[in-house]
């Protein structure tokens, strides 16, 4: 049986996790709607249903919260490629990456729009991340793609441009949703639409890389 103190600590940890998750979800919505300058900690606190002092206690500052959201979004998107090796099948790896990226962008469209807005604004809060951790991540993945090409498993396409292509193609339907809906005449994209789009991207990108599925 747990000691009362241990049970209390467990409840406190669970409460902290719930509050942090509520803050992140609220911040994603507020930042995506108003941008960094237009958003306020007070607005985020109200959206999260917490006092402003609690938000600052958990996240430290608006800037830290904003950067944490952006980095979390990139980590989500790229998790599928974190552990790849030259021994893996490029068809399976790239198809899984495209499908997971499409699913995540659909599940978190505000996070995708938030990242797009930051980059379109010159990425003032992400320069260190882009030139450091993310650049290293891309170069490591690129080396694996090059080794696949050397083994004849795919064409010798530029691996960095390929990563950019997958990023942009899978984010388009969230970042430019009004354009997509206006041109297609839809109120919203259905499950079937997303399936068709994902299948289309897998076919186009893998075939363009000379990969047989």
Say what the pTM is.
0.81
Q: What is the reported pLDDT for 178?
A: 96
pLDDT of 7 reads 60
Average pLDDT over residues 31-56: 91
Distance CA 150, CA 209 (A): 13
From CA 139, how far away is CA 155, in angstroms rounded?
A: 18
Confidence label for 47 from pLDDT (cuts 50, 70 and 90): very high
Return d(Cα 202, Cα 213) in angstroms, integer: 10
């Amino acid at each position: 049986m747990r000691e009362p103190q241990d049970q209390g600590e467990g409840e406190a940890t669970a409460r902290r996790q719930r509050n942090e998750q509520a803050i992140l979800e609220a911040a994603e919505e507020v930042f995506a709607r108003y941008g960094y300058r237009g958003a306020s900690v007070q607005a985020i606190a109200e959206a999260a249903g917490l006092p402003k002092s609690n938000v600052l206690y958990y996240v430290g500052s608006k800037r830290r919260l904003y950067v944490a959201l952006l980095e979390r979004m990139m980590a989500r998107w790229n998790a599928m490629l974190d552990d790849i090796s030259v021994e893996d099948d490029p068809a399976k790896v790239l198809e899984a990456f495209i499908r997971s990226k499409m699913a995540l962008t659909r599940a978190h469209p505000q996070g995708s729009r938030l990242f797009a807005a930051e980059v379109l604004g010159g990425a003032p809060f992400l320069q260190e991340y882009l030139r450091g951790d993310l650049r290293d991540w891309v170069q490591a993945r690129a080396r694996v793609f090059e080794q696949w090409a050397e083994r004849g498993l795919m064409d010798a396409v530029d691996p960095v441009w390929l990563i950019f292509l997958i990023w942009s193609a899978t984010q388009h339907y969230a970042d430019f949703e009004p354009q997509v809906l206006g041109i297609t005449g839809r109120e919203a994209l259905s499950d079937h639409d997303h399936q068709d789009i994902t299948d289309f991207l897998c076919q186009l990108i893998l075939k363009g890389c000379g990969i047989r599925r």
